[in-house]
Amino acid sequence: MSALVYIIRKSMKNSLKELGKKPGKLILYLLVIAAILGMVLLSFIRTVDSPAPLFWFSGILFLFIALFVVNAFAKGLSGGDAIFEMNDVNLLFVSPVSPRKVLLYGLVRMAKTSFWAGFFILFQANTLANFGVDYGGVLLTFAGFLLSMAVLTTASLLIYSVTNGNAVRKRIVKCLAVVLFLPLAVFLAVQYFTTQDMATALEITIGSAFLRFFPVAGWTSSGVTAFLSGDAATGLLFLGLNLLLCAGMTAYILLSNPDYYEDVLVATETAYEKKRALADGNMGAATASKRKVRVAKTGVSGSGATALFGKHMRENLRENRFGILTLPSALIALGAVIMILFGRELSLVLQILMWLQIFLIGTGRGLKETYSHYIYLIPVSSFQKILWSNMEIMARTLFESALIFGIGGALIKAHPSFILICILTYTLFSLLLLGVNYLFMRFFGADISAGLLLFIYYLAVILAMAPGLVMAFVAGAAIGGDAGYFTGLLILSGWELAAGLGCFALSKGVLHNCDMPQMKTGK
């Protein structure tokens, strides 16, 4: 164990030394700390006259973590979660250290990944204030998320260890995943048919034992909400269930399969090969999917730069029978509609979705297109090429927003004009985010490291949105009421369109070089 403690201590020490050699990185860390302290101060200054009921926050947190529960099952059934790196495989796996201690070391290392995965929660003080949650509650929510991620990482490893190479066990686990959600879904349906009101049915469901005792997601949301309500005993009970489950699964892995190295090797090697492919600029290998391709139709539509849009749409249809609507986007849409029913308003959900979109926008096909040679061979302007190469993600965002605000707005009987302006604001925000992404690629090069660059990207988005937000706020305050809010969103949408196109125009030089860009993976 002393060797593993030495590795952790030495890694932390080297990270601190690196800050001395890279002043720019130190400045970024200081900016992060300053931003978090700023959020803390704002949480003391801002007050909400009539905050939304806290149980709605519990339901939203449940839905958020439930997405990671589904992801844990998917990872466990495919290749497990990568809790080690190749240097661990080459050095630790062959060292005279107990495999049980090595596994504990791997789980400790995952805390860093979990931290960055939920880092954006620390900047949600403004959103959570709508539920009467102060910054202490934000930190508590973040801690609950980290605990959930530790449990789910262990669960994905356990699922892979148990089901690897056994089709029967994989089917059993899939059935268990469905059965896990079934009681809650049935209870919600029964309450809806009984009350004939979805909001009332959701309120009853959130307070029911079916949700509170739902593994991981229910325990975490109920535990965090209990602490925020002042009931520390109940909070400790629910969060303690997470700790017991994580400890139990870890003990089972250690006792039943001490030689688990083969199980974790697949996920580790896969993650390493993808990282190496990204470093070499080989986006095809880095993003290769094991999913079966449906060759139902071939060929692309359009000419010139528009052929890129046709190519991406054809690729979507070949990989997914529902086209641009993927399973993650469908789950997000479902969760967003339920949140609309929770809060009975569209504006709060619009804010939350725009926050999430900041971190998800880079997953489309447009940015990846610049790492293959096809886009450089089209004899049209760079502006047209980078714009049309991103129309696929714009179409997906438009479709998702139409589902979310169309269905959600209809259920709460919102005015059609307000539904349309929410769709427009959300869709054009993705155009602005894509433009900011290309500006980063044009002037700073691509870097997929999740840490500090993500924070700088976040600041860049805030700066790009600031003029539009100021104009929208001033106009909305001057007019007042629903008409003022509508006008403010309309102005903000116009600014998003202008700023997005401006960013694309400024970043068109990304295709002027004859050499394709290289991905930097960072550390």
Could you read off the pLDDT of 267-282 as tens digits, one per residue? 666 666 666 665 555 5
Return the amino acid letter for 486. Answer: F
> How many CA atoms lie less than 13 Å away from 321 in the CB half-sphere?
1
Tens-digit pLDDT profile for residues 110-153? 766 666 666 667 767 767 777 778 778 888 888 898 889 888 88
- Residues 225-237 have a mean pLDDT of 90
Neighbours of 121 (CB within 10 A): 21
Please classify residue 477 by burial: count the beta carbons closer than 10 Å to its beta carbon, then call 0-12 exposed, 13-18 middle and 19+ buried: exposed
- Residues 471-487 have a mean pLDDT of 84
- Residues 3-11 have a mean pLDDT of 76
Sequence-ordered alpha helix ranges (H) in 287-390: 306-319, 327-343, 347-360, 366-369, 382-388
Residue 214 has pLDDT above 80, yes or no: yes
Residue 450 has pLDDT above 50, yes or no: no
Lowest mean pLDDT among 160-174, 235-249, 468-482: 160-174
Share of the chain above pLDDT 70, in %: 72
Q: What is the pTM of this model?
A: 0.66
Residue 523 has pLDDT above 50, yes or no: no
Residues 67 and 64: their CA atoms lie apart, in Å, by 6
Q: Are 58 and 208 in contact (CB under 8 A)?
A: no
Give the pLDDT of residue 222: 92
Residues 47 and 161: their CA atoms lie apart, in Å, by 49
Residues 293 and 263: their CA atoms lie apart, in Å, by 27
Tens-digit pLDDT profile for residues 160-208? 777 776 788 888 888 888 888 888 889 988 988 888 777 788 888 888 8
For 80, the 3-state DSSP assignment is coil
Mean per-residue pLDDT of the chain: 77
Residue written as tokens 């399973």?
327
Neighbours of 462 (CB within 10 A): 13
Q: Which pair of tokens denotes residue 148?
A: 């959930």
Tens-digit pLDDT profile for residues 399-423? 889 988 988 888 888 888 889 999 9
What is the domain partition of the chain in residue ranges? 1-45, 50-272, 282-511
Q: Which carries the bigger pLDDT value, residue 462 or residue 299?
A: 462
Q: Which pair of tokens denotes residue 421?
A: 């302006």
Neighbours of 53 (CB within 10 A): 14
Q: What residues contact residue 284 under an 8 Å CB cut-off, 6+ apart? A: 277, 372
Residues 143 and 137: their CA atoms lie apart, in Å, by 10
Residues 159 and 169: their CA atoms lie apart, in Å, by 9
- Residue 520 sits at φ, ψ, to 5 deg, of -110, 125
In degrees, rounded to 5, the angle at the alpha carbon of residue 158 between the alpha carbons of residues 152 and 162 is: 145
Residue 284 has pLDDT above 70, yes or no: no
Q: Are 325 and 399 in contact (CB under 8 A)?
A: yes
Tens-digit pLDDT profile for residues 332-374? 788 788 778 766 778 878 887 887 787 666 556 776 777 677 7
Give the pLDDT of residue 498: 92
Return the amino acid letter for 76. Answer: G
Residues 499 and 468: their CA atoms lie apart, in Å, by 9
Sign of CA dihedral 339, 344, 348, 354: positive
Residue 257 has pLDDT above 70, yes or no: no
Residue 220 has pLDDT above 90, yes or no: yes
pLDDT level of residue 236 (50, 70, 90 thresholds): very high
Tell me how far the alpha carbon of residue 302 is from its chain's centroid: 33
pLDDT level of residue 24 (50, 70, 90 thresholds): low
Question: What is the crossing angle of helices 347-360 and 416-444, to 10°?
Answer: 20
pLDDT level of residue 241 (50, 70, 90 thresholds): very high
